[in-house]
């Protein structure tokens, strides 16, 4: 910005000089170059301006506002957010006893507990975080399946392109439609249970009943490992969401792998073949190392996306601590209605941001270690 | 020593065992080489292809089946609520009582017409399918068309114009990609509330028309492939940058712009989360997927039962499916180039 202003000022100087140049023609040769530079700078900034404005407005200002909000006690009913933040000094979170606690929402997030069943009381954020991480089981499953299909599709067989298109269909379909279809298909008397001869209550719709192993399967297990623990609460509903997200995400991953596989050096493969390597060895020793960047990219984006899972559990069963991902917590505390506290949601959002950054850094660290 | 001899005897016995010989022949028939028979390369490839086809067909079946189920359920006659759920539960290939049955009086597309004519029973407003459809078209056409052009202009300036601060701005935009959307959601929500963009749906339009960074980066990558000499020639002939952008860059980058536009159109059409988070539940400005979820919550009060919800689901999916089927070559090749999934 400053640099450009300086350049503009310089250009104005040149223009000013141009006025006087009629009298002094010997200085003329500098002018055309600067004119071109001025044009470049002017139009470069003009063409880029909408994107810069949009990014600064909807990302950076919002990011700063979110960070500031998380130390205050703002609700939408307090009026304009910008006015509120403008006099932020007066609005830092204060308890009813008058103690100033800027980190109130953060301590709240780490200490607030909820009852998830008559016997179990847990940290609320921990519950939602557990669900989010549980859904990430789908990432490795999806990646292995996608790799398998992608290898099949890159064989020299006619009609491989048709399969590519068919596998991508679930990716373009609306999440809402798919969730409503799966919800009916996974009914207790529904298609899936019929086809596989199961009697699993995949989606417990009563809500009030505790979602234990026994109530879901109709079994009578007495093992404490199966009835009480937290991990099997709503287990089958989570499985439905994992199945659904794997099914929905498969096509995109397959296409990435096909792009990666077509970039594998064919000459190396052939050389390995001549040296007597079989298909299995070629895949692990030649193809996989070349494919590594694609896989790494895939894992990083999948983890970032997986941390932000929201719509699927929300549509399957609205705002259920057994099922919802972490983002549902931000929604529920920050913006579900007019009395909600965006400050609290912003604090949860900042915690999520830190977690995503840490996860990504860990992945890059493991990646760099792997390369040595 | 004795061990060795025994081993050799065993090996010799194995070599001439007729069962082993037959097994080798059997394996060779399926393209697997063994000690006794060597499978031909052609046979090996043929068997591999057949196995691949079976696997791929099975996977393709799994990909398509839920869609088939959705369409079939859209034709299920669930208007009798007592047996409606049972019909949907028993549905594997085709509903036992469908609107296509010869004796059915309301017409074959009864569920679809119910979805199109009934109000969605929004708490205060009377939301209809047509209103939601128009909303969704506005949300997915206006921001996408304008946004792709602004992204392309930014891409042009990054790829072909030298200006001070370019690398710095590029770095800033890269940093913006790394901010997870969910983390700044509440601040955006509060800001839209202040600006009054929530009830009228502007919050789904205005952020989009400023363009998207990923789109700009992709088009920039594409523009690097275009020769700069075209622009130089145009400049020498006296064209300004605006003229160059409209007359050369937009037409030449059309494949990239089209692909990115189609992808963002699909993203906006399916944007349930944006509508659900920012637009109040009782507003008339909700988009089609959100309206479908509103409809689903009130389904018991609407004649036709769950079959109507599934008909609505088909309505949500159909336009993007048709679009994808028409432009699949452009879209998939662009996906393979960028490496992004959406």
- CB of A309 less than 8 A from some CB of B: no
Q: Is the dihedral of CA A68, A69, A74, A76 positive or negative?
A: positive
Q: What value of ipTM does the predicted structure carry? A: 0.86
Distances (CA, A) of A215 to A234, A236, A286, B206: 10, 11, 49, 48
Query: Which residue segment(s) compose the domain that A353 sits in?
Result: 108-371
Structure tokens at A3: 């640099």
Q: Give whole-number Cα distances, A55 to A60, B211, B213, in Å.
A: 7, 9, 8
Quote the number of domains for chain A: 1
Helices and strands: H and E segment counts in chain A:
19, 2
Reported as a pLDDT band with limits 50, 70 and 90, residue A15 is very low
Establish if A318 belongs to a structural domain: yes
Exposed e or buried b for every residue in B256-274, given b needs 16+ CB within 10 A?
Answer: bbebbbbbbbbbbbbbbbb
Q: Is residue A5 part of a domain?
A: no
Rounded to whole angstroms, the Cα distance separating B66 from A189 reads 17
pLDDT tens for each residue of A299-357: 998 999 999 999 888 888 877 777 888 998 888 888 877 678 888 899 999 999 999 99
Q: Residue A203 belongs to a domain with what CATH number?
A: 1.10.3720.10
Of A175-189, B142-156, B299-313, the poorest mean pLDDT is in B299-313
**Interatomic CA distance for residues B134 and B142, integer angstroms:** 12
Confidence of residue B35 (pLDDT cuts 50, 70, 90): confident
Q: What is the pLDDT of residue A19?
A: 47
Q: Is residue A64 part of a domain?
A: no
Which fold would CATH assign to domain B120-337?
A: MetI-like fold (1.10.3720)
Share of chain A above pLDDT 90, in %: 25
Is residue A42 assigned to a domain? no
Cβ–Cβ of A174/B186 closer than 8 Å? Answer: no
3-state secondary structure of B119: strand
Smallest CA-to-CA distance from B322 within A162, A161, A173 is with A173
Instruction: Find the CB nearest B213 among A51, A153, A185.
Output: A51
Name the closest residue on chain B to residue A325, using Cα atoms. Answer: B182
pLDDT at A33: 62
Residue A141 within a domain: yes
- Shortest distance, CA B105 to any CA of chain A (angstroms): 26
User: pTM for the whole thing?
Assistant: 0.84
Q: Among A167, A330, A343, whose Cβ lies nearest the Cβ of B59?
A: A167
- As a whole number of angstroms, the distance between CA B195 and CA B151 comes to 24
Q: Looking at residues A155-175, what average pLDDT do you find?
A: 88
Shortest CB distance from B277 goes to which of A51, A331, A343? A331
Cβ contacts (< 8 Å) between B207 and chain A: which residues? 54, 58
Residue A117 lies in a domain: yes
Q: Contacts of residue A174 in chain B, CB cutoff 8 Å?
A: 269-270, 272, 289, 313, 316-317, 320
User: Which residue ranges make up each domain of chain B?
Assistant: 2-73, 120-337
């Amino acid at each position: 910005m400053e640099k450009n202003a300086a350049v503009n000022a310089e250009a104005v100087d040149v223009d000013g000089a141009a006025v006087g140049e009629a009298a002094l023609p010997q200085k003329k040769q500098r002018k055309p170059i600067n004119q071109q530079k001025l044009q470049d700078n002017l139009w470069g900034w003009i063409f880029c301006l909408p994107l810069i404005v949009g990014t600064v407005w909807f990302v950076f200002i919002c990011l700063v506002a979110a960070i500031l909000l998380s130390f205050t006690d703002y609700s939408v009913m307090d009026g304009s957010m910008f006015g509120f933040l403008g006099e932020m000094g007066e609005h830092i979170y204060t308890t009813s006893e008058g103690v100033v606690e800027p980190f109130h929402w953060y301590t709240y997030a780490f200490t607030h507990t909820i009852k998830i069943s008559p016997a179990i009381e847990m940290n609320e954020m921990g519950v939602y975080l557990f669900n989010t991480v549980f859904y990430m089981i789908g990432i490795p499953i999806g990646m292995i399946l996608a790799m398998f299909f992608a290898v099949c599709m890159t064989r020299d067989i006619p009609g491989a392109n048709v399969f590519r298109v068919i596998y991508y269909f679930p990716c373009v379909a609306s999440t809402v439609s798919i969730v409503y279809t799966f919800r009916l298909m996974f009914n207790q008397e529904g298609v899936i249970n019929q086809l596989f001869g199961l009697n699993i209550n995949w989606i417990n719709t009563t809500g009030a009943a505790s979602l234990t192993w026994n109530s879901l399967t109709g079994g009578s297990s007495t093992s404490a490992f199966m009835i009480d623990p937290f991990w099997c609460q709503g287990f089958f509903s989570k499985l439905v969401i994992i199945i659904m997200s794997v099914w929905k995400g498969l096509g995109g991953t397959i296409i990435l792998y096909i792009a990666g596989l077509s970039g594998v050096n064919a000459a190396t493969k052939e050389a390995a073949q001549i040296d007597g390597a079989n298909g299995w060895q070629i895949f692990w020793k030649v193809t996989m190392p070349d494919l590594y960047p694609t896989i790494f990219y895939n894992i990083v984006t999948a983890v970032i996306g997986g941390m932000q899972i929201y719509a699927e559990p929300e549509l399957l069963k609205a705002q259920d601590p057994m099922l919802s991902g972490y983002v549902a917590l931000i929604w529920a505390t920050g913006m579900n209605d007019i009395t909600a506290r965006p400050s609290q949601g912003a604090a949860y959002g900042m915690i999520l941001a830190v977690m995503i950054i840490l996860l990504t850094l860990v992945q890059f660290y493991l990646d760099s270690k792997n390369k040595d | 020593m004795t061990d060795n001899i025994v081993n050799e005897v065993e090996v010799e016995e194995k070599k001439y065992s007729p069962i082993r010989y037959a097994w080798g022949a059997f394996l060779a028939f399926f393209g697997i080489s063994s000690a006794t028979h060597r499978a031909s390369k052609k046979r090996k490839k043929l068997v591999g292809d057949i196995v691949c086809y079976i696997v791929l067909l099975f996977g393709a079946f799994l990909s398509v089946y839920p869609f088939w189920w959705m369409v079939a359920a859209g034709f299920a006659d669930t208007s009798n609520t007592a047996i409606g759920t049972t019909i949907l539960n028993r549905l594997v290939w085709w509903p036992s009582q469908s609107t296509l049955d010869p004796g059915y009086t309301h017409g074959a597309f009864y569920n679809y017409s119910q979805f199109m004519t009934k109000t969605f029973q929004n708490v205060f407003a009377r939301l209809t399918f047509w209103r939601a459809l128009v909303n969704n078209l506005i949300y997915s056409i206006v921001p996408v068309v304008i946004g792709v052009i602004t992204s392309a202009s930014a891409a042009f300036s990054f790829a072909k114009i030298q200006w001070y601060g370019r690398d710095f701005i590029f770095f800033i935009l890269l940093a913006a990609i790394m901010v997870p959307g969910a983390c700044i959601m509440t601040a955006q929500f509060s800001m839209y509330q202040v600006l009054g963009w929530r009830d009228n749906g502007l919050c789904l339009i205005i952020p989009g028309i400023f363009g998207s960074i990923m789109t700009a980066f992709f088009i920039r990558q594409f523009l690097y492939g275009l020769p700069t000499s075209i622009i130089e020639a145009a400049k020498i002939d006296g064209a300004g940058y605006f003229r160059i952008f409209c007359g050369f860059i937009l037409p030449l980058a059309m494949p990239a712009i089209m692909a990115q536009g189609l992808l963002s159109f699909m993203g906006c059409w399916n944007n349930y989360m944006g509508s659900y988070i920012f637009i109040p539940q009782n507003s008339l400005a909700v988009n089609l997927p959100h309206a479908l979820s509103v409809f689903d919550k009130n389904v018991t009060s609407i004649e036709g039962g769950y079959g109507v919800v599934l008909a609505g689901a088909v309505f949500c999916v159909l336009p993007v499916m048709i679009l994808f089927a028409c432009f699949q070559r452009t879209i998939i090749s662009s996906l393979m180039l960028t490496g992004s999934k959406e």
